[in-house]
Amino acid sequence: WYQRRVRADDGSATCSCCDPAVPISENTERLGEEKLAGTSAVSGNVFFMRQTVGNACGTVGILHSLLNNSKVISVGETLKKFQSECLNVDPLQRASLLENSEDIACKHAAAASSGQTAAPSADEKVNLHFVSFVSVDGNMYELDGRKPSAISWGPCESEELLSKAALACQRYMACDPDEMRFTVVALSKID
């Protein structure tokens, strides 16, 4: 059902990443921790950063998605510069670079003010959290800025990402089958 909504009827659209908003519960947190504990290696080509600002998971999720796909998605000069600054620093230092980037802050504020929904304040308690699923070097990774590293979900070529991310989303949904608040955003390119 995800595939029909993202792929064009002629199959020409390819999914670059999926960003689900997952309800935060003991069950979903347990699944995330189990997957993290089972992650033995992460490709050095995965762009991952920590989330150190409250309620910035959407921003961090979209940055994870864009910067792990910057070879196929035009990210613009501001994000190219940010990605370059992040090359040789750890995930916490990347978060600090994000916090101190005036360029990204200005673009973020402009985008946020044009939206339809008011963003929660940084200290407001929310119970939904955006993560990102990307395929890098033949593996699918869940990128959750609250975690210390990327989480491997196993082998996944880029053309399999949509179906495998849908399965991962279904695993999260099964954690709380009565929960109705679940959203997925997919970035795709029409070939």
Catalogue the active-site residues. 57, 129
Are residues 49 and 145 in contact, defined by beta-carbon separation less than 8 angstroms?
Answer: yes
Are residues 18 and 133 in contact, defined by beta-carbon separation less than 8 angstroms?
Answer: yes
The pair of three-digit structure tokens given for residue 141, joined into one six-digit string: 């990774």
Are residues 89 and 83 in contact, defined by beta-carbon separation less than 8 angstroms?
Answer: no
Q: 30-39 contacts: CB < 8 A, separation 24 or more?
A: 30/175, 31/171, 31/172, 31/175, 32/142, 32/144, 32/147, 32/151, 35/142, 35/151, 35/152, 35/153, 36/147, 36/148, 36/149, 36/151, 38/152, 39/149, 39/150, 39/151, 39/152
Are residues 174 and 58 in contact, defined by beta-carbon separation less than 8 angstroms?
Answer: no
Length of the chain, in residues = 191
d(CA 80, CA 67): 8
